[in-house]
Structure 1
Amino acid sequence: MATNEARAARALPAALRLLATLLLLALAGIAQAAAPRIGVATMQPGRIFWERFGHDAIVVVDPATGRATSYNFGFFDLAEPGFVGNFIRGRMRYRLVALPLEDDLALYREEGRGVSVQWLDLTGAQALDLARRLEVNARPENAVYTYDYFRDNCATRVRDAVDATLGGELHRQLASRSRGSTYRSEAVRLASPAWWMRLGFDIGLGPRADRPLSLWDEAFVPMRLADALREVRVGGRPLVASETTILPHRIAPEPADAPRPLLPWLAAGLVLGIAAAWAGRRAPRATAAVALVAWAVMGLLGTLLLYIWLATAHVFGWTNHNLLLLNPAAWLLLPGAWRLLRGRAPGRLFGPGLALVAALAVAGLFLYWLSAAPQDNARWIALLLPLHLGLWAGLGKPGRRGRDDGR
């Protein structure tokens, strides 16, 4: 009898341990079952210029009700006091908004923009953590942030939220890899359906936009983030468990990567330069009429580039080497061009001004050659440098413009 009682006493702690283990497993299963489903929604580019880069959001599906909430970092208020001024100066205020997924999809459905969701393979604890942090982030006192086109936008906010949930694993896997793209190449590619927007990015971006991007940095583009998520593995398993197309894409697709050869730009520049030199000697009034428009545009663009550098927070437009090609000094040539157009001598300062503008353009070429990390503006140098030299050769030499009376 005593022996049986001893055996029972020894067995009791083991039974309690087993019961506790089973209870913990049951609780873990309940927690896992109660965890929300998390997805990253990617919206394809639209037709309007602010839609060209696409968009994304984080989708959280409540396990109890099945209700899907979209956490969208892309909201801004056009009626906000000073919005236009802040936009121009690069101090835009965006905010995170939590809204029913169906409400968020209404605009994309109407515009014909495709939407897909990548459902993430997260543990219950990770999914709960991300859902709770998004809920806190969406509160009015936390929702507003200072928007940056490249470094802090709707896609980078989604990327960073997922990365925080994974303990930095996303950054570890993406930061050391690159496809060689740059902020300029991605901006020009996505803006390409709108020629004015494409040229605006290419002219307005400075050398900071030309460093090669890691896959982590490249994820400022929502579609690139979706590509990167497909390659990430956590604990030996793909991070993306499945993908679902919610809305079909019914408009023009995302622009593909395309080469930008230098030769056509150089050929056009040489034709313009030779034509300017020849016409300036034989038909100075007609040449002055064309040059008047060209210099006015160059001066305007140069002044804008200078303003971006000195008076805005658009850091990727600072120290823009195109200032040497689209120089505000071109404004100084307008009075002389106007006098030539009227058949009068352009004045004593016109020739030196032409030489200065041409010399600055030549300096742009040397800056490109000598820079360890040059700005990707070789095409603009090839186009505009011959034109500057041609105008100088055609209009800037004494004896080619008639009598100079200094008036």
Structure 2
Amino acid sequence: MKKILLFLLISLTVKAQLSSKAEVVLVTVAPGKELHSAFGHTILWVNDPLNGIDRAYSFGTFDFKTENFYLKFLMGTLPYTISVHSMQDEFNYNAQYEKRGMIAQKLQLDSLQKNAIFQALETNLLPENREYAYKFFYDNCSTRIRDVIERNAPGKYRWIQNPSLEGKSYRDWMNKYLAPNSWVTLGMNLALGIPSNVKATASQACYLPDNLASATNLAKGLSANPVTLFDAEVSEEAGFDFTGPYVILSVLIVLVGLATYKKRFSYAADVALFSIIGLLAWFIFFLGTATNHEVMAWNPASLMLFPLNFPLVIWFAKDPLKWKKYLQIISVLCVIGLIWSGIQFAPMVLVGLPIFIRVCYLSFIKK
């Protein structure tokens, strides 16, 4: 019964028309502290005081109670939905609770365009339309709202007038929001494949909410001057993290290099090193080949870390002479992977250097 009533309520709302006093407002929420909020958020607010309409639409909503949540998230099959709240609720949560900045841009649209956007959003709320396959770079909370505006107010965005949003890859834009000396940043970059290195157009760069706000502001005649709804305190920049990957991996490289030079790197140490990095390599390979995350496909980190080293290390570390050809081939692949990965994101080289040192040494053992 509740589902029937909800369906009827949404159906009636879809047919409703906005008054001449209605406003459509793009609201941009600043990045938060948690990873899932690190890139900001976009809300499209339809406000019509004459008809009592106050609806703030958000895409990219998910439910932790979804069956097999973590497995679906890992596989890229977790259903995401559109949701709607009052603007006051959005403000209370994002500004008052999470202390994230919020800006609003009132869109300069005619009545037909406002109604078209409103109807499109309400249609999207219907049960059969709510869910969609989330794609971080291509189909998220920001791109969905960009598309709603473009489809229902065509020509408002003139992308060729946005050179400041061009020239960076998807990966480059992502890394602007991440601390460089961070295990999370390193892990995310290791997981991304060649598709993330494609240069994003101005429109594609709007997968980030801040970029959509910038494009909206630069689009001639599309929006009024941005209004600050909440000005969050500027957080202090964190000092250098001595437990971050820069230090830990550099120390590991030095230790592996010294032990190799002095011929004190034991069989057990080889097995441990190649097993740990090999498991990481298999996980990266799995993400790129067995999930719906297409941006993780064709990953040069697989060349650098080479999954087959685990479990083959059990044999080639014990008798490297018998595995000489294999080790020499892996050395060449590792060099290619190191250079390729380093071009994408330089700190990734730190992960590959320890095994590169060992593979090169083992491949040149003569007796």
**Band the TM-score falls in, shorter-chain normalisation:** 0.7 to 0.9
| Structure 2 counterpart of 1:127 | 114
Cα deviations by residue, 1:215-270 (Å, 9 ceiling, x for unpaired)? 1000000011001111102xxxx211132222222353999xxxxxxxxx9xx98x
One-letter amino acid matched to 2:231: P
| Structure 1 counterpart of 2:223 | 240
Q: Secondary structure at the match of 2:199?
A: coil
Q: 1:208 aligns with which of 195, 199, 211?
A: 195
Q: Secondary structure at the match of 2:135?
A: coil
Q: For residues 86 and 251 of structure 1, what CA distance do their matches in structure 2 show?
A: 35
Judge conservation of contact 1:41–1:58 (CA < 8 Å) in 2.
yes
Judge conservation of contact 1:333–1:354 (CA < 8 Å) in 2.
no
Give the C-alpha shift of residue 381 in structure 1: 7.4
Q: 2:40 aligns with which of 50, 54, 72?
A: 54
Change (3 A) 1:292 1:307: same
| Structure 1 counterpart of 2:259 | 279
Q: For residues 255 and 327 of structure 2, what CA distance do their matches in structure 1 show?
A: 17
Change (3 A) 1:275 1:305: same
The answer for unaligned runs of 5 or more in structure 1 is: 1-30, 256-264, 369-373, 401-407
Which stretch has the larger CA shift, 126-135 or 348-357? 348-357
Name the count of aligned residue pairs.
341
Q: How does 1:236-315 map to 2 (within 5 A)?
A: 238-250=221-233, 252=235, 276=256, 279-285=259-265, 288=267, 290-315=269-294
Q: How does 1:34-183 map to 2 (within 5 A)?
A: 34-64=20-50, 67-108=53-94, 109-170=96-157, 173=160, 178-183=165-170
The answer for unaligned runs of 5 or more in structure 2 is: 1-16, 239-245
Change (3 A) 1:277 1:352: farther
Which stretch has the larger CA shift, 80-89 or 64-73? 64-73
Judge conservation of contact 2:39–2:177 (CA < 8 Å) in 1.
yes
1:317 aligns with 2:296: yes
One-letter amino acid matched to 1:335: I
Q: For residues 147 and 67 of structure 1, what CA distance do their matches in structure 2 show?
A: 28
Q: 2:305 aligns with which of 318, 326, 329?
A: 326
1:359 aligns with 2:332: yes
Q: For residues 381 and 59 of structure 1, what CA distance do their matches in structure 2 show?
A: 41
Give the C-alpha shift of residue 331 in structure 1: 1.1
Give the C-alpha shift of residue 45 in structure 1: 0.7
Give the C-alpha shift of residue 334 in structure 1: 3.8
Give the C-alpha shift of residue 201 in structure 1: 2.0
Q: For residues 363 and 165 of structure 1, what CA distance do their matches in structure 2 show?
A: 47
Give the C-alpha shift of residue 383 in structure 1: 4.2
Give the C-alpha shift of residue 194 in structure 1: 8.0
| Structure 2 counterpart of 1:377 | 344
Q: For residues 65 and 193 of structure 1, what CA distance do their matches in structure 2 show?
A: 49
Highest CA radius of gyration, 1 or 2? 1
Change (3 A) 1:359 1:220: same
TM (normalized to structure 1)?
A: 0.73
